[in-house]
């Protein structure tokens, strides 16, 4: 178990490191110059050269990378060009907003998608279920920027009951979380339906039913118990990808999270900020994945961590 944990953490660190290094090289290979974005269009050649020297951008790439690595080891990811503050702090300031949004969205998703999926599984292949099925397909087909703007128009402009943007009150959380949840509910409920439908027709359920187990226990304890792992995995993966910054939704609702930060950092070619964001979000996503893997034995006693599982 300890060995397994050690190996997984090692693997995770390696993935994060490779990601950050890739991004480091990628942004420097690409055309475009942060000094121009930094100094504005009116800057003279001398000014640009001075700024480049100041930011350390005139040094060769391997040297820049070494400086970056040294900073990484001490937790110093450089100063953001546009915020004039330590890049890591800028990202960490924004992170709570993104996490709040992700938690709200995943809670909403779970609360709707699991009962919906169970309902669809129990009514599998009926006309009503076909209708619900087509509705979930529609939910999965809406571009999130569009459904966001539509919700915004209805509930903030035409019928001003909820704030349109930002995060001043808890009400501001409703629209962005709903926008994200629409897609997730569609995906997760279909997964729940598939898993549950397989379990509901399994022979062990017939046996349990003939022994007089109540219908509720059959569905929620027997069948759900056996569907829990794939559903949890999917929820976890979804959550991890949300923590990465729900870029589009954050932009639509002017949410002060990591996603909208990235868009801005890319526009201004803010190298340290891009690197810090990628580092933090990748690390967080991988951490969430790891936690989910570690939680498997809680839901299925057959799972032994560290044993070669079916990959």
Partner 1 sequence: MSTPLPASGPAGTAPPPGGAGPRPSAVTTRLLARAGATRRRRGARVKLWVGLVCTLLVVVPVVFARLLPLPDPTEQDLSQRRLPPLTDGHLFGTDQLGRDLLSNVLHGGQMSLTIGVLAVLVSGVIGLVAGAAAGYYGGWVDSVVSRLLEAQLSLPLLMMLLLVVALFGPSIPVITCVIAVAQWPEVARLTRSLVLVEREKPYVAAARVLGLRRAEILVRHILPNVVRQATIVVFLLLAQAVLLESALSYLGAGPERPFATWGRIVSDGQDYITTSWWLVTLPGLVIVLLVVGVNLLGDGLRDRTRRQAASRRRGPSPSWRDRATRKGTVS
User: By the 8 A CB rule, do 279 and 16 touch?
Assistant: yes
**Binding-site string for partner 1 from residue 231 to residue 270, where x marks contact by CB under 8 A and - marks none:** ------x--xx--xx-xx--x-------x--xx--xx---
Q: Which stretch binds partner 1 (CB under 8 A): 17-25, 63-71, 105-113, 300-308?
A: 17-25
Q: Is 276 in the site for partner 1 (CB under 8 A)?
A: no
Residue 79, classed as helix, strand or coil, is strand
User: Residue 44 Cβ, how far from partner 1 at the closest point, in Å?
Assistant: 25
Sorted by sequence, the CB contacts under 8 Å of residue 292 that are 6+ apart come out as 232, 233, 236, 237
Neighbouring residues of 306: CB distance < 8 A, sequence distance ≥ 6: 1, 3, 4
Q: Please count the other Cβ atoms lying within 10 Å of the Cβ belonging to residue 177.
A: 22
Binding marks (x or -) toward partner 1, 62..101, rule CB under 8 A?
----------------------------------------
Nearer to partner 1, 173 or 240 (CB): 240
- In sequence order, what are the beta bridge partners of 86? 79
Q: Shortest Cβ distance from residue 206 to partner 1 (Å)?
A: 7
Contact map string, positions 153 to 192, toward partner 1, x by CB under 8 A: x---x-----------------------------------
Interatomic CA distance for residues 140 and 137, integer angstroms: 5
CB atoms within 10 A of CB 302: 7
Written as one string, the DSSP assignment of 225-260 is HHHHHHHHHHHHHHHHHHHT--HHHHHHTT--SHHH
Binding site for partner 1 (CB under 8 A): 15, 18-19, 23, 26-27, 29-32, 121-126, 130, 133-134, 137-138, 140-146, 149-150, 152-153, 157, 200-201, 206, 209, 215, 219, 237, 240-241, 244-245, 247-248, 251, 259, 262-263, 266-267, 274, 277-278, 281-282, 285-286, 289, 311
């Amino acid at each position: 178990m300890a060995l397994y944990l050690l190996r997984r953490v090692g693997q995770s660190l390696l993935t994060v490191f490779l990601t950050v290094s890739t991004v480091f090289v990628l942004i420097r290979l690409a055309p475009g110059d942060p000094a121009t974005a930094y100094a504005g269009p009116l800057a003279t050649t001398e000014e640009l050269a001075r700024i480049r020297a100041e930011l350390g951008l005139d040094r060769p790439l391997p040297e820049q990378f070494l400086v970056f690595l040294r900073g990484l080891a001490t937790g110093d990811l450089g100063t953001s060009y546009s915020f004039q503050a330590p890049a890591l702090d800028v990202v960490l300031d924004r992170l709570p907003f993104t996490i709040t949004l992700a938690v709200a969205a995943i809670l909403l998703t779970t609360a709707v998608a699991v009962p919906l999926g169970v309902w669809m599984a129990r009514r599998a292949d009926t006309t009503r279920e076909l209708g619900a099925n087509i509705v979930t397909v529609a939910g999965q087909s809406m571009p999130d920027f569009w459904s966001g703007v539509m919700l915004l128009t209805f509930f903030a402009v035409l019928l001003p009951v909820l704030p349109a943007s930002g995060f001043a009150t808890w009400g501001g959380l409703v629209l962005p979380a709903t926008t994200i949840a629409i897609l997730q509910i569609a995906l997760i409920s279909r997964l729940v339906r598939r898993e549950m439908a397989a379990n509901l027709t399994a022979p062990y359920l017939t046996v349990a039913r003939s022994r007089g187990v109540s219908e509720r226990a059959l569905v929620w304890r027997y069948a759900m118990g056996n569907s829990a792992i794939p559903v949890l995995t999917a929820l976890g993966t979804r959550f991890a990808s949300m923590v990465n910054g729900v870029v589009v939704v954050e932009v639509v609702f002017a949410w002060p999270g990591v996603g909208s930060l990235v868009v801005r950092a890319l526009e201004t070619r803010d190298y340290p900020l891009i690197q810090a964001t990628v580092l933090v979000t990748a690390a967080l996503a991988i951490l969430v994945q790891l936690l989910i893997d570690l939680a498997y034995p809680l839901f299925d006693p057959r799972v032994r961590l560290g044993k070669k599982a079916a990959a």
